[in-house]
Structure 1
Amino acid sequence: MTINDCFYIGYISKSRGLKGEVQLYFEFEEYNDLDFDILFIEFGKKLVPFFVDSYKLQPNSTGYFYLEDVDHIDKALPLLRKAVYLPNEKKPVRNPDEFFITDLKGFMVYDRVYGELGEIIDIHSYPQQDVAVVQYRFKELMFPLNDDLILEIDREGGTLKVDLPHGLVELYSGG
């Protein structure tokens, strides 16, 4: 199985207890819809399969997993901070009408005052809010993605119109 045959779902964030249980932090929004009979964990650009003995999903984008043959904390420690994948055939099919905040990645951002700011190159998800990262004048400009700042989302045109707070663009542009 190669990375091209899989999709990224998150990473092993920590171990729990002495019996090899690991916590998986999900960066895949629809993690409740996934089938976890096998996980592929990345070790040096290669994917290693691990069969799942049992798991319990949490509401905070995490899950606790017992993996086959990982029955002690010493066997769990090498898995920490490793990327986790599932085969592409396990990826849930989305309704075309569904739109997630992460779908804004790649959209062009236009500010009401400054005009074109650039393309959204990344979206960071934090418990409090999601933050867009835009390459602006050779620097990363970051702003929260909330209803107060978003004026319009054009899904077909791939554009996002915003009204950023006074001074935010100047903060990043140095002027």
Structure 2
Amino acid sequence: MTFEESFYIGYITKTRGLKGELQLFFEFEDYLDLDFDVLFIEIDKKLVPFFVGSIKVQKNSTAYLNLDDVDHIDKAQPLLRKKVYLSNDKLPERDPEDFRYTDLIGFLVIDELEGELGDIIHVQELPQQFIATVNYGEKDLLFPLSEDFIVGIDRDEEIIVVNLPEGLVDIYKD
């Protein structure tokens, strides 16, 4: 399995108990729609397959899982903080009309006052709102993805037009 043939879902956060149970934290939005039979864990820049013996998916973006051949805490310890992937054929299908803030990654941000700011490189969900990170010169410019600031989104051209609060962009200028 190569990285191109797989997609990232999260990472192992901790062990639980002495029998090798692991906690997986999902960074993939639709984790409840995933099918888990084989996970690929990144070890030494390679994807190593592990068969899932059992998994209990929680509502808080986590799951508790037992992997075949990982039956003791000593075998589970080396997997901590490792990234977890699934093969591309396990990627759930989404309705084309189901557009999310995370789909804005790669979109060009144009502010009505400041002009082109750069491409969105990351979207982070915080309890109150989503935050976009734009590669702005030598710095990362952060702004809230709020309907108050978004003027329009062109999905075909991958452009988002915003009207950011006065002075926000000035904070990031040299």
**TM-score bin, normalised by smaller chain:** over 0.9
The equivalent residue for 2:65 is 65
Letter in 2 for 1:141: L
Pairwise CA distance, 1:128: 3.5
The equivalent residue for 1:27 is 27
Query: For residues 144 and 77 of structure 1, what CA distance do their matches in structure 2 show?
Result: 38
Note the alpha carbon deviations across 1:26-58, whole angstroms, 9 max, x for none: 111111111001101010121111111111112
Letter in 2 for 1:167: G
**Bigger shift: residues 93-102 or 82-91:** 93-102
The equivalent residue for 2:76 is 76
Task: Give secondary structure in 2 for the equivalent of 1:74.
Answer: helix
Letter in 2 for 1:75: K
Letter in 2 for 1:25: F
The equivalent residue for 1:37 is 37
The equivalent residue for 2:88 is 88
Note the alpha carbon deviations across 1:94-126, whole angstroms, 9 max, x for none: 222221211101101111221211111222233
Pairwise CA distance, 1:2: 1.7
Q: Percent identity?
A: 60
Pairwise CA distance, 1:133: 1.0
Query: For residues 51 and 98 of structure 1, what CA distance do their matches in structure 2 show?
Result: 31
Q: Is the aligned partner of 1:169 residue 2:169? A: yes
Task: Give secondary structure in 1 for the equivalent of 2:122.
Answer: strand
The equivalent residue for 2:132 is 132
Query: For residues 168 and 54 of structure 1, what CA distance do their matches in structure 2 show?
Result: 48
Letter in 1 for 2:31: Y
Q: Is the aligned partner of 1:105 residue 2:102? A: no
Letter in 1 for 2:45: K
Task: Give secondary structure in 2 for the equivalent of 1:4.
Answer: coil
User: How many corresponding residue pairs?
Assistant: 174
The equivalent residue for 1:150 is 150
Pairwise CA distance, 1:67: 1.1
Scaled by the length of structure 2, the TM-score of the pair is: 0.92
Query: For residues 147 and 6 of structure 1, what CA distance do their matches in structure 2 show?
Result: 33
**Bigger shift: residues 34-43 or 108-117:** 108-117
Pairwise CA distance, 1:13: 1.6
Pairwise CA distance, 1:22: 1.2
Letter in 2 for 1:105: I
Query: For residues 115 and 135 of structure 1, what CA distance do their matches in structure 2 show?
Result: 14
Structure 2's unaligned 5+ residue stretches are none
Pairwise CA distance, 1:167: 2.1
Query: For residues 28 and 145 of structure 1, what CA distance do their matches in structure 2 show?
Result: 19
The equivalent residue for 2:4 is 4
Letter in 2 for 1:97: E
Task: Give secondary structure in 1 for the equivalent of 2:166.
Answer: coil
